[in-house]
Every structure is written in structure tokens, then in C-alpha cells.
A and B are shown apart, each in its own frame.
Chain A
């Protein structure tokens, strides 16, 4: 709670400073709009539906990408537990692909996949898959030997070993991997949308920023950035905190 109050204090300070700088008229309005015009612009965009549509579209695309990415990462990690050869293959893939920013793949993706939402999903899957797979592999290795022996003793099948021993035991790794994946996916999404434009009819939040830029709507630009920050904070500080509370803390797994 104390932390929240402090954060609130700092946000207010930033707004106050912003207003003061605005009032000094050091910069033209087009470079530095007032906080009030930014908030008006934000409300307008929410009320006329364009902001909601953009947020909805972006979230839909990112969850598609996250879902596919998580599915692939879990499958790859399962296979690595089953066959050691596969693990070395996956580890090689990770060391090649993990440091590569999704946006760097852009020219190739345009040639191979085109420019619609599939291309953005591809970039998100790329951002999600490698950090998550890496975390899962590390997590599986950290599962205490005794758990595995217990599982074998009571005669669990391979699939059940995965679902009831490996996955729950490496949950902290899974969740922290998911956090990294989300952060990377969110950044990749916004940049990809600014380049690809309105994929499939409606554009997402990145496209909204781009449109604000070309129409020189600086207040709208700030408004979109505030929305991006808010969604980032909500997911990282609220959604993930909630998941951790319900799982890791409840089960006493939090380190």
C-alpha cells in the first residue's frame, strides 16, 4: 500500500512538472501538448470507440501469439525431457534465436508470410517461445530428484509425470518465463503494428500511434503511449501478481 501511495505521488509530480513546462511555453504545442489536452484526447478516443477497438485488436493478437508460443514452448520442453538429443537441439535453437529481436526478422517475414496479422503473430511467437523454453528447461532440471523417484515409485506414466510432477514443481520458472515472454511480446507487438499498419481491417494500438504521428496529433500520441503504459502495468503488476498469489504464494513455493 505504501508503495502505491509513493508511485501515485511520483506520477502526480510528473504531471505537475509537465504542466509547468507546458505553461512556460518553451516548446511549441505540437511538440509538447498540455496534460489536459492529452487527457481530453484520450477520452475522445475512448468514447468514439477507436481506442477500445485498437486495444481489443492488439490484445487479441497478443493472446493468440502467447497461446501458440506457450504451447510450443511446453511441447518442446516435454520432448527434451523425453529425449536428450532433442534437448541439445532445442538448446542450440535457443542460443541462436533468443538474442535475435523479432523486428530484425521483419524483412524476411514480409517476404515469407506477408503483412497481415499472421506476420505479427509470428513475431510474437518468436518473442515468447525462446525465453519461455529456456526457463522451462532450467525449471525441469531443478526439479528435486526425490519428486521424480516418488513419481516412478507409484508408477506414473510419462504424461502424468509431466503434468503432475515436472510442471507443478517448476511453476516458479514457468511464471517468470511467462513474465519475460509477455514483456517481450508486448514490445514486439507495438513495434510490428507501427510497421505493418492496419492488418486485417482494423489496426491495433501501434497503428494508432503511427496514425497520430502522420496526422501530427501529438496529444493523441501521448494518449496512446499512456494506454500502452497502463496495459503494461496492469498485466505485469496486477495480472501476474494475482496469478502468483493464487499459486506460488498459496502453495508456499515463492522463493
Chain B
């Protein structure tokens, strides 16, 4: 019996040591920044920043810059919770979900306002009314901006925000496009440029809903969020990063031709095509639509509560539209 108790104590000590070690893996280095993004033309300013080495030019040589490409917002959030990533780019709804669940982060900047649309190949589907319960809709994930916009439109047009919640299928943009093209069981795909433009070029594909119709106004498609830890401990690096990002945005807006040439290589498209797609995008640091998303998500149970004052979710000085 004594022997057994010894074992138990030993086991408990081991578990504690493991747990506390995990808890202590916060980053020690100060001159180190990790940025997470996803795929798509909405992240163009980040690509420009990377390609032109705009950040490297401003920072001391020993600063380590990690660019991380993650497959979805859930992965970005998880990396930010454990402290692997300092700055993450995503849409407003997933940001609000994380904030509500107690993540210590705020929005540092707006990035992109982008057209997004629900595309189908089925001729007889003209509006949301024509989607039957058998029609499956591909989008990045539940709780994504695409899902919330779809629910907004479903509430407006069909009176039931949750109408399509059980016919969603989670797919990355490229997979969703592939699934739509093979015309098997995905009837519609909610996507953004360049996938949106490429799908619409295919014979027979048409758009049945745009993001703007769903929301009723312009909104930020992507915003940049930072952990409080990064903002508070590395204020200098934080400021340099977001000033540079602002410069990258200005660069795209002032020199679209040059930006398109640069981006065309990354996205494997011709410069003309890229320029054409860039015209539909609006790159701006102003955060738009955060109140609308928050109100809708609370009213329809996607969030239990939301922010009282906008300062709770935006860092000081971040421009936003009421």
C-alpha cells in the first residue's frame, strides 16, 4: 500500500510539472514578431510588405520576423492564445467570438473591404429562396464572416437566421472552388477574390448573394488584431509594424500597377488579371461594420454578449466607422 501511495504522489508531481511548464512557455524575447494570415487577395498589403521587405528595412537586424500562413481563423486564434502569434488577420465575427470567450486581444487596424459572394452553378437557383434543404453550402467554417453574412441574409429574406446552419460544409476557398466546379454535392460556395472572380468566369456560374446585400452597407472583410501582451510589452515594435502596414496599403492605392505586378507572381495570375481584381478591393485602415456584426451575432445567439464601449475591442486611435 505504501508503495502505491508513493506512485500516486510521483504521478501527481509529474503531471504538475508538465502542466506548469506548458503554462510558462510565454515568449521571452522582445525583438521578435509573429504575424499570421490566410490565403487570398484580401491580404495583399501583407504580401506587399513582405515582398518589398518594408518591415525589415525599418527594424534592427536582429529582429526576427515570422510570417505564418494558417489554414483557418480557428488556428490563428489558437496560436494567439498560446502566444505563438502576436498579430493575426481575420474577419470581425471570429474576432468577436474570441473576444467574448476571454481572449486578451483587440483590433489594431482595418485592412480590406472586399466584395464577397455566394456562387452557384444551378440554373434554377436565383435567390436564397430557391436553396432547398438538400443544397449544401461550402464556406470556410461556421462562425466565419461568410457564415454570419449568410445568416444575416437568411434573416432578412427568409425570416430565419439559422435557416442554413445545418447545411454548411467547411472548406478552404480553393477546396470549395474545386467542389463547386465538379458539381457534385456542393451547390453553392461563399467566397472572396480571387476565387470569386475565377468562379464567375466559368460558364453557367452566377452569384445569388453579395456581402453588401447581406449587410446592407460596406464592412471590413479583414482586420488585424494583436494580443494585449504584444501591444503592451513591445509598443515600439507594435507601432513600427502597423505604420509599415499603413504604408503598404498606401502603396497599393497609389501604385496599383506596380502592386499588381508584384502580387501576380504570388497568386500565380497575370498582372492584368490581378490589376482587374484589385479594382474591386478597397484597402483601408478604417474598421467598418463592427457594430452591425456584434448586434446581429448577439441577437441571434452566435455571441452571448458583446462589447459595451468600442474601446474594449479597438486599440486607442484605431479609426472606425459608426
Contacts and interface: CB of A to CB of B under 8 A. Distances in A.
Interface of A: 13, 17, 21, 26-31, 110-111, 114-116, 195-199, 201-203, 210-211, 213-218
A31 B167 contact: no
A114 B184 contact: yes
A219 to B, nearest CB: 10
Contacts of B101: 29-30, 216-218
A215 B97 contact: yes
30 contacts: A17-B12, A28-B102, A28-B103, A28-B104, A31-B81, A110-B179, A114-B184, A114-B185, A115-B136, A115-B186, A116-B136, A116-B185, A195-B170, A197-B168, A197-B170, A198-B166, A198-B167, A198-B168, A198-B169, A199-B169, A201-B166, A201-B167, A202-B166, A211-B143, A213-B74, A214-B72, A214-B94, A214-B141, A214-B144, A214-B170
B143 A115 contact: no
Nearest to A119: B185
Nearest to B73: A214
Nearest to A218: B101
Contacts of A198: 166-169
A202 B185 CA distance: 15
Contacts of B167: 198, 201
A221 B142 CA distance: 15
Contact of B143 (A17, A21, A215): A215
Interface string B119-144: 00000000000000110100001111
Interface in B268-322: 302
A197 B169 contact: yes
Contacts, number: 78
A193 to B, nearest CB: 11
Nearest to A111: B182
Contacts of B97: 214-216
A214 B98 CA distance: 9
A17 B97 CA distance: 29
Contacts of B77: 216
B15 interface: yes
Given A198-B167, A198-B168, A26 B20 contact: yes
B275 to A, nearest CB: 33
Nearest to B303: A215
B23 interface: yes
B10 interface: no
Interface of B: 8, 12, 15-16, 19-20, 22-23, 72-74, 77, 81-82, 94, 97-98, 101-104, 133-134, 136, 141-144, 166-170, 179, 182, 184-186, 302
Contact of A203 (B16, B98, B166, B182): B166
B82 to A, nearest CB: 8
A32 to B, nearest CB: 9
Contacts of A31: 81-82
Contact of A214 (B22, B82, B142, B185): B142
Given A198-B166, A214-B74, A30 B103 contact: yes
Given A13-B8, A27-B22, 6 more contacts: A28-B81, A28-B102, A114-B184, A114-B185, A198-B168, A216-B98
A108 to B, nearest CB: 13
Contacts of A196: 169
Contacts of B74: 213-214, 216
Given A17-B12, A211-B142, A216-B77, A27 B23 contact: yes
A29 B100 CA distance: 12
Contacts of A27: 22-23
B166 to A, nearest CB: 5
A202 B179 CA distance: 20
Nearest to B23: A26
Contact of B15 (A17, A211, A218): A17
Contacts of B182: 111
A197 B144 CA distance: 14
B185 A115 contact: yes
A218 B77 CA distance: 13
B172 to A, nearest CB: 11
Contacts of B81: 28, 30-31
Contacts of B12: 17
A201 B133 contact: yes
Nearest to A118: B185
Contacts of B20: 26
B131 to A, nearest CB: 13
Contacts of A114: 184-185
Contacts of B170: 195, 197, 210, 214
Nearest to A195: B170
Contacts of A211: 142-143
Contacts of A216: 74, 77, 97-98, 101, 103
Nearest to A14: B15
A115 B102 contact: no
A26 B98 CA distance: 19
Contacts of A110: 179
Contact of B102 (A17, A30, A116): A30
